[in-house]
Amino acid sequence: MKYLFIKMLALTALLVGSTYAATAQDFRPVLLYDIGGKFDKSFNEAAFRGAERFNTDTGIEFRDFEPNSETQYEQALKRFARRRADLIVAVGVGYAVAVRNVAQRYPDVKFTVIDAVIDLPNVQSVTFKENEGSFLVGMIAGMATKSGKVGFIGGMDIPLIRRFQVGYDQGVRFVRDDIEFIENYVGTTPSAWNDPIKAAEMAKSQYARGVDIIFSAAGPSGLGVINAAKDSNALAIGVDSNQNHVQPGFVLTSMLKRVDLAVEQAMQQAKNGTWAPGHVVMGLPEGGVDYALDEYNASLITDEMKQRLEEARAKIISGEIAVADVEGSNEGH
């Protein structure tokens, strides 16, 4: 009888284990990129890296889709929702309306949207305090500039990109209040994210006016700014992903926006059963934003600069330093 009981326990354990394995194997996450391609060295690539880490950790494959235009957003969402994806992660403001429409139609499918806020019972919204990370790279620009002139080039002129600009400007002036600040935006439509030629022209114009450091919050268009920095023997600041390696020695730092972390966490939570709808905000305390330091810019960031940055970080987290924000900036690229 005892032997039979032990065999039953072993069989139960095996069945439970098999059920868990099957559940994990049956988990079907999907990642939908914004316009610009999976390997844009910026926003989309950060999302891809997060999904890749999830795949490495769990062995679970994810499906993904690269749209050519915003007209494909809702089509892709519907297609994967009809196939009963367990979680659809959509990155970028362009998906806001499409996710709202499709999530209402498929209430049993979970959706995580990055950079937009949608109040539905099956939607998780993730936004970032880009102004806090931009404050830190603004401090770096303020400490590193030799000309006393710094620049900002945004992609699409929307509230969220203004949030990058406001935080950057405040960080610059936290260090020095006598710096001249020049700004440009690539455009007012989604094509602004994918026009590195125009962004490069704007950057060269700023450099010609005496600017020696430009922060670009422009997605793939920002690669034009980084290339212009090299051509002008000046400095650029990358965005979203760590872009220090793109033109080593000409990228002062990068403002990290941890889209990779948001994607990875959403997929892990959905697999583990801890995913929840609602609004998740990722700032400095949550590790959602930061500045990049590696072998490519180590010679450009001094120990004194790092000390001042860490002091400011602690004060932002404690609330002693209040970083300015922009109304409506929770919905943007």
| pLDDT value for 69 | 87
| pLDDT value for 12 | 42
Return d(Cα 252, Cα 128) in angstroms, integer. 22
Q: Are the C-beta atoms of residues 85 and 29 closer than 8 Å to each other?
A: yes
146, part of any domain: yes
| pLDDT value for 15 | 38
CA distances from 203 to 72, 161, 228, 279, 303 (A): 32, 17, 6, 36, 29
331, part of any domain: no
> Do both 46 and 152 map to the same domain?
no
> Do both 112 and 245 map to the same domain?
no
> Do both 116 and 68 map to the same domain?
yes
Q: What is the pLDDT along the chain (333 residues), one digit of tens a residue?
A: 444 433 443 444 333 433 333 355 589 999 999 988 898 888 899 999 999 999 999 999 999 999 988 899 999 999 999 999 999 999 998 899 999 999 999 999 999 999 999 999 999 999 999 999 999 999 999 999 999 999 999 999 999 999 999 999 999 999 999 999 999 999 999 889 999 999 999 999 999 999 999 999 998 999 999 999 999 999 999 999 999 999 999 999 999 999 999 999 999 999 999 999 999 999 999 999 999 999 999 999 999 999 999 999 999 999 999 999 987 555 444
| pLDDT value for 93 | 86
Instruction: Write down how long the chain is.
Output: 333
Provide the token pair at 132.
């806090």
SS3 content of the chain, % helix, strand, coil (to 5): 45, 20, 35
18, part of any domain: no
20, part of any domain: no
> Do both 120 and 69 map to the same domain?
yes
| pLDDT value for 208 | 98
> Do both 245 and 272 map to the same domain?
no
> Do both 298 and 150 map to the same domain?
yes
Return d(Cα 161, Cα 10) in angstroms, integer. 57
Instruction: Give the chain's end-to-end CA distance (angstroms, integer).
Output: 65
What's the CATH code of the domain at 177? 3.40.50.2300
13, part of any domain: no
Return d(Cα 106, Cα 19) in angstroms, integer. 26
| pLDDT value for 37 | 85
Residue 216 structural domain: 130-256+290-318
Query: Structural domain tally of the chain?
Result: 2
> Do both 149 and 251 map to the same domain?
yes
Compute the CA torsion angle 41, 43, 48, 51 (nearest 10 deg).
140
The β-bridge relationship of strands 123-128 and 110-114 is parallel
> Do both 273 and 147 map to the same domain?
no
326, part of any domain: no
Provide the token pair at 9.
């326990």
- Is the four-CA dihedral 52, 226, 142, 156 of positive or negative sign? negative
323, part of any domain: no
